[in-house]
Amino acid sequence: ETGVTQSPTHLIKTRGQQVTLRCSSQSGHNTVSWYQQALGQGPQFIFQYYREEENGRGNFPPRFSGLQFPNYSSELNVNALELDDSALYLCATSRDRGSEQFFGPGTRLTVL
Amino acid sequence: DQQVKQNSPSLSVQEGRISILNCDYTNSMFDYFLWYKKYPAEGPTFLISISSIKDKNEDGRFTVFLNKSAKHLSLHIVPSQPGDSAVYFCAASGSRDSNYQLIWGAGTKLIIKP
Asked whether the predicted pLDDT for residue A1 surpasses 70, the reply is no
Question: Which chain B residue lies closest to A3 (C-alpha atoms)?
Answer: B43
3-state percent helix, strand, coil for chain A, nearest multiple of 5? 5, 50, 45
Whether the pLDDT of residue A13 is over 70: the answer is yes
B42 touches chain A (CB under 8 A): yes
Give the tens place of pLDDT for each residue, B7-37. Answer: 999 999 999 999 999 999 999 889 899 999 9
CA angle B52, B43, B65 (to 5 degrees): 25
Residue of A nearest to B32 (CA): A98
Report yes or no: B92 and B33 within 8 Å, Cβ to Cβ: yes
Angstrom CA distances, B60 to B76, B78, B86, stand at 11, 9, 18
Residue B53: the pLDDT is 92
Of A42, A98, A104, the CB nearest to B43: A104
Contact between residue B107 and residue A50 where contact means Cβ atoms under 8 Å apart: no
Q: Which pLDDT does position B41 carry in this prediction?
A: 86
CB contact under 8 A, B100 and A56: yes
pLDDT at residue A10, rounded to an integer: 96
Whole-angstrom distance, CA of residue A43 vs CA of residue A27: 24
Cis status of the peptide bond prior to A62, with omega within 30 of 0:
no
Instruction: Compare B101 and B93 and report the one with higher pLDDT.
Output: B93
**pLDDT per residue over B32-83, tens digit each?**
999 999 999 899 999 999 999 999 999 999 999 999 999 999 999 999 999 9
A20 with A86: CB under 8 angstroms?
no
Please, is B30 exposed, middle or buried when counting C-beta atoms within 10 Å of its C-beta (0-12, 13-18, 19+)?
Answer: buried
At B98 the pLDDT is 57
Q: Does A97 touch chain B (CB under 8 A)?
A: yes
Q: What does DSSP assign to residue A29? A: -
The whole-chain average pLDDT of chain A stands at 93
Contact A45 B100 (CB under 8 A): yes
Between CA B49 and CA A4 the distance in angstroms is 22
How close is the nearest chain A Cα to the Cα of B85, in Å? 17
Is residue B93 scored above 90 in pLDDT?
A: no
Angle, vertex CA A39, rays to CA A35 and CA A42, nearest 5: 45
- pLDDT-derived band at B99, boundaries 50, 70, 90: low
| Interchain CB distance below 8 Å, A45 and B102 | yes
pLDDT at res. A56: 87
Asked if the Cβ–Cβ distance from B97 to A97 is below 8 Å, we say: yes
Kindly determine whether residue A43 and residue B45, on different chains, have CB atoms separated by under 8 Å: no
Q: Are strands A31-37 and A87-94 parallel, antiparallel or unpaired?
A: antiparallel
User: In which band, very low, low, confident or very high, does the pLDDT at A27 lie, cut at 50, 70 and 90?
Assistant: confident
Please state, in angstroms and as integers, the Cα–Cα distance from residue A18 to each residue in A86, A106, B42, following that order: 13, 18, 25
**Average confidence (pLDDT) over A59-74:** 95
In angstroms, the CA A83 to CA A19 distance is 13
